[in-house]
């Protein structure tokens, strides 16, 4: 699993010669609590841990914006909580995170701003509380299409 992260750090080194791929890899494995599993094969790991490896690979490239699609899909409640805490920590450190997600408790508990789409059209954008209180959002999730503009 270590090699999966290190290959991304080595790719980053092509445009940032100052980094040491081994050091970046070690720091990420430690930060994501993957250090004890570094010699495991990724396919032998649980889904949540595999997602952390994917995240470590992305972070090894030092992005300013992290784009994630359905990151909570297939995760247990504990794994989703762990992922949400980690994403909050990354955002607090200054990384911009854009999520596409259908797990409403996950996204509402994690996000500062939410845009809700219905059939590809933005229905509302706001804080999680504003989005949840919006009648069009309630209609879309309760099955009544009449209120959605």
Q: Where are the domains of the chain?
A: 1-62, 64-101, 113-149
Q: Which pairing describes strands 114-118 and 96-100: parallel, antiparallel, or unpaired?
A: unpaired
pTM of the model: 0.82
Task: Round the average pLDDT of the chain to a whole number and report it.
Answer: 90
Instruction: Give whole-number Cα distances, 26 to 6, 13, 43, 51, 148, in Å.
Output: 9, 15, 20, 17, 49
Question: Given this model, what pLDDT does residue 148 score?
Answer: 44
Q: Please tell me what DSSP assigns to residue 66.
A: E
pLDDT tens per residue across span 57-102:
999 999 999 999 999 998 989 989 999 999 999 999 999 999 999 8
Q: Which of 101, 86, 109 is nearest to 32 (CA)?
A: 86
Please tell me the predicted confidence (pLDDT) of residue 36. 93
């Amino acid at each position: 699993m270590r090699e999966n992260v290190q290959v991304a750090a080595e790719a980053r080194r092509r445009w940032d010669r100052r980094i040491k791929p081994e050091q970046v890899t070690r720091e990420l494995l430690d930060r994501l609590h993957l250090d004890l599993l570094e010699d495991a094969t990724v396919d032998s790991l649980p889904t949540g841990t595999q997602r952390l490896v994917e995240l470590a690979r992305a972070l090894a490239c030092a992005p300013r914006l992290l784009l994630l699609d359905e990151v909570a899909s297939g995760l247990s409640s504990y794994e989703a909580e762990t992922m949400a805490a980690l994403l909050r920590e990354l955002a607090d450190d200054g990384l911009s995170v854009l999520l596409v997600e259908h797990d409403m408790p996950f996204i509402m508990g994690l996000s500062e701003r939410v845009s809700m789409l219905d059939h590809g059209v933005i229905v509302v954008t706001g804080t999680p509380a504003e989005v949840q209180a919006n009648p069009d959002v309630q209609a879309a999730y309760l099955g009544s299409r009449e209120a959605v503009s």
